[in-house]
Amino acid sequence: MKEHYCLQAALVCLGVLCHSQAFTTERRSHLRPSFHGHHEKGKEGQVLQRSKRGWVWNQFFVIEEYTGPDPVLVGRLHSDIDSGDGNIKYILSGEGAGTIFVIDDKSGNIHATKTLDREERAQYTLMAQAVDRDTNRPLEPPSEFIVKVQDINDNPPEFLHETYHANVPERSNVGTSVIQVTASDADDPTYGNSAKLVYSILEGQPYFSVEAQTGIIRTALPNMDREAKEEYHVVIQAKDMGGHMGGLSGTTKVTITLTDVNDNPPKFPQSVYQMSVSEAAVPGEEVGRVKAKDPDIGENGLVTYNIVDGDGMDLFEITTDYETQEGVVKLKKPVDFETKRAYSLKVEAANVHIDPKFISNGPFKDTVTVKIAVEDADEPPMFLAPSYIHEVQENAAAGTVVGRVHAKDPDAANSPIRYSIDRHTDLDRFFTINPEDGFIKTTKPLDREETAWLNISVFAAEIHNRHQEAKVPVAIRVLDVNDNAPKFAAPYEGFICESDQTKPLSNQPIVTISADDKDDTANGPRFIFSLPPEIIHNPNFTVRDNRDNTAGVYARRGGFSRQKQDLYLLPIVISDGGIPPMSSTNTLTIKVCGCDVHGALLSCNAEAYILNAGLSTGALIAILACIVILLVIVVLFVTLRRQKKEPLIVFEEEDVRENIITYDDEGGGEEDTEAFDIATLQNPDGINGFIPRKDIKPEYQYMPRPGLRPAPNSVDVDDFINTRIQEADNDPTAPPYDSIQIYGYEGRGSVAGSLSSLESATTDSDLDYDYLQNWGPRFKKLADLYGSKDTFDDDS
């Protein structure tokens, strides 16, 4: 390597020398004197003319990456005015002056003191000037020159990416472009071949090749199969110096993946598939799976399955599971072990997407045989019909046979069947079923007018296995019989205007009537309207049948008057068209009304008509107003009387001291107490806290006992009063106003006791009121009235 660089340096120096000589010559021919001459007079009067000067340099290139022991000579500056006596000083300034480039101020030689790298900086601009060494006076104007760094091949090629990834379809033609790789060289492309790159393939042959100048990788073999090998690793080299010996190189790795194309048909791994299904399986249940293998991937490997032949095409179906790429065989219709025990299917697997380029590799499909065995299972009973419809007449007697349902066991054992009715569908228990033969009977008469159809469900279960059960709907139609007589379709009411006898009869019906029948149309219309036989010759009205299930009622005469009769009740017989026919008698109300001259109704009230003859409407309103006012007054009076009524019973919580009671009846005073003890007038029930109610009339009459009544001429007043008190206490019929109110008790808590004379059992002579003197000033007045009795007697 060292010898290589020495050879390069020698060649570069030789080239630089030749180039510098040419440049010097060219420069000399174009330079102008830096210092222009001027005339001077000598001592002898001679005129001296200064000669023109110019710069001379021998080198302006420097080789990069110089590693010699001495600084490399870049070039030499020389002025024409330099006579070699050392009076001229050369000065260097500019880029790198003093650091990278130094100048010998006497000789003008420029040296590079550091190693230069063209890839970092390709050239430097410097300024050179010649000055007087003693005075530093510029002898010529400064001159600019450029030092270029001469390139050497010191940088190998580098690829843009360390690794590349590319895809190419499998089975591509030879020369198909895969990817282009690009490398770059930091060396100077304008000088020599240092940056001239050539591409070559180091690994990946013979499958791929690369174009030397462009770096485009192409396929080199035909029919490369992804299923055989999917990924290839290729190494590409880029070499400078045009690929010649001594050039530098760089490499990169390219991973090439073959993408899939649909070049392989699906293939079943076996020729026959064995499956089984139970006869108890329901439609939609999975029977088994088949799978055809396709080495392609993605949409190129998608496979769809179909049944193309076989004796089970109507009973089975196949779908595609796109996640697992399997064909799922499912039951389409129920199978029966007793009918057929095995089926065969021919299943085809085909690609969904076919590439026309590889159609010659086809066909892209495959077939396989699927054999399905039916397994026996304990099946529930089967009814001979999916549903039943029976009929029964309404009003049929209990026990009437409605119809029969029939089921059988489809298994070979043929187990006996037991029938029952689902009571959730027959809540009223209208029917019963024979558990052995399936005959359905009524339990009570049915009414079609209530329910025309009855729907029940019947169960059939095996006797030995009640879990095996079947259910069938049974619809029972109740047939109509003519058991309902027709009636008026609405509550009709007719009106006829009163008129004179001479007024002609109207041809318009008073009212048009129709009928309604609850029975079916076969036992209903046509309706026939007529009068009862006993009044067929009714002098007032007649009925005309319109023969369209309606009839009109007409008046036979005129001259109807409300004064004579304001209401007529006309019986009408309605018969239906059933067999046998049913009839009913309906009553039509016809009112006689007052009408205006145009026949419009005014009033149908007979009383109002009579009153109008003597009183006007205003008079009637006045009379009614007076009656209402009187009723209001009576109500107010009764209400006020009830509010003023005194309570009949004084309850314990009422304090009698809070009431002022006035007595208009005056007794004999204390003198009357000599004859009897008035304390006996107190009610003993009131002492115990119970006061009987005497304001309620008893439910029975009290008969006084004759033995309690004293003799009329008795002078024993005490006995008489006691007898009366006892009768009053025991007589529940006594009204409240006949009771004796007791006011002898004046309350408790007073030190003085009672002041009433009613409870005084002694005479005035026996009473001593001197103690009133000790009761204080409040009783001073009483003490003066009663306590001074002895004093009054003495004075008298």
Q: Looking at residues 588-612, what average pLDDT do you find?
A: 73
Alpha-carbon gap, residue 529 to 542, rounded angstroms: 11
Give the pLDDT score at 153: 75
pLDDT at 164 over 90: yes
Between these two residues, 108 and 662, which has the higher pLDDT value?
108
Q: Would you say 489 and 514 are in contact if contact means Cβ atoms under 8 Å apart?
A: yes
Between these two residues, 10 and 462, which has the higher pLDDT value?
462
The strand pair at 382-383 and 407-408 is best described as antiparallel
CATH architecture, domain 270-373? Sandwich (2.60)
Q: Looking at residues 50-69, what average pLDDT do you find?
A: 58
What confidence tier does 579 reach under pLDDT thresholds 50, 70, 90?
Answer: confident
Q: Would you say 35 and 81 are in contact if contact means Cβ atoms under 8 Å apart?
A: yes
Alpha-carbon gap, residue 140 to 306, rounded angstroms: 103
Structure tokens at 366: 């495959």
Alpha-carbon gap, residue 41 to 35, rounded angstroms: 19
> 307: part of which helix (H) or strand (E)?
strand 303-310
pLDDT in tens, 473-490: 999 999 888 888 899 989
Provide CB contacts within 8 A for 601, sequence distance 6+.
495, 497, 593, 594, 595
Q: Looking at residues 345-350, what average pLDDT do you find?
A: 95
Q: How many Å is the maximal CA-CA distance in the chain?
A: 217
Q: Would you say 783 and 769 are in contact if contact means Cβ atoms under 8 Å apart?
A: yes
pLDDT in tens, 394-431: 889 999 999 999 999 887 778 899 999 999 999 999 99
Give the pLDDT score at 519: 82
Q: Looking at residues 168-195, what average pLDDT do you find?
A: 87
Q: Would you say 353 and 302 are in contact if contact means Cβ atoms under 8 Å apart?
A: yes
**What is the dihedral sign for C-alpha 515, 520, 526, 528?**
negative
Q: Looking at residues 437-459, what average pLDDT do you find?
A: 93
What confidence tier does 92 reach under pLDDT thresholds 50, 70, 90?
Answer: confident
What confidence tier does 302 reach under pLDDT thresholds 50, 70, 90?
Answer: very high
CATH of 156-257, one of 1.10.3720.10, 2.60.40.3620, 2.60.40.60, 2.60.40.10: 2.60.40.60
Three-class SS of 188-220:
CCCCCCCCCCEEEEEECCCCEEECCCCCEEEEC
Between these two residues, 793 and 534, which has the higher pLDDT value?
534
Q: Would you say 128 and 60 are in contact if contact means Cβ atoms under 8 Å apart?
A: no
Classify residue 470 by its DSSP letter.
E
What confidence tier does 766 reach under pLDDT thresholds 50, 70, 90?
Answer: low
pLDDT at 362 over 90: no
Fold of the domain spanning 485-601: Immunoglobulin-like (2.60.40)
What confidence tier does 752 reach under pLDDT thresholds 50, 70, 90?
Answer: low
Q: Which of 381, 303, 404 is nearest to 349 (CA)?
A: 303
What confidence tier does 379 reach under pLDDT thresholds 50, 70, 90?
Answer: confident
pLDDT in tens, 6-35: 334 443 443 434 333 333 333 332 223 232
Classify residue 741 by its DSSP letter.
P
Q: Would you say 71 and 59 are in contact if contact means Cβ atoms under 8 Å apart?
A: no
Q: Would you say 417 and 460 are in contact if contact means Cβ atoms under 8 Å apart?
A: yes
Q: Would you say 74 and 96 are in contact if contact means Cβ atoms under 8 Å apart?
A: no
Between these two residues, 44 and 754, which has the higher pLDDT value?
754
All structural domains of the chain with their residue ranges = 57-148, 156-257, 270-373, 380-477, 485-601
**Average pLDDT, rounded, for the chain:** 78
Least-confidence region, from 351-355, 608-612, 723-727: 608-612
CATH of 57-148, one of 1.10.3720.10, 3.90.1170.50, 1.10.10.10, 2.60.40.60: 2.60.40.60
Q: Which range scores top for mean pLDDT: 272-281, 699-708, 733-742?
A: 272-281
Q: Would you say 207 and 226 are in contact if contact means Cβ atoms under 8 Å apart?
A: no
Structure tokens at 48: 């001296």
User: Is it true that domain 380-477 has CATH number 3.40.50.720?
Assistant: no
- Tell me if 156-257 shares its fold with 380-477: yes
Give the pLDDT score at 538: 85
Q: Looking at residues 466-470, what average pLDDT do you find?
A: 87
Structure tokens at 264: 């392989």
Percentage of residues of the chain with pLDDT beyond 90: 33
Give the pLDDT score at 128: 86
Structure tokens at 774: 């000790």
Give the pLDDT score at 653: 46
Query: Could you give the 3-state DSSP secondary structure of residue 521?
Result: helix
pLDDT at 651 over 50: no
What confidence tier does 117 reach under pLDDT thresholds 50, 70, 90?
Answer: confident
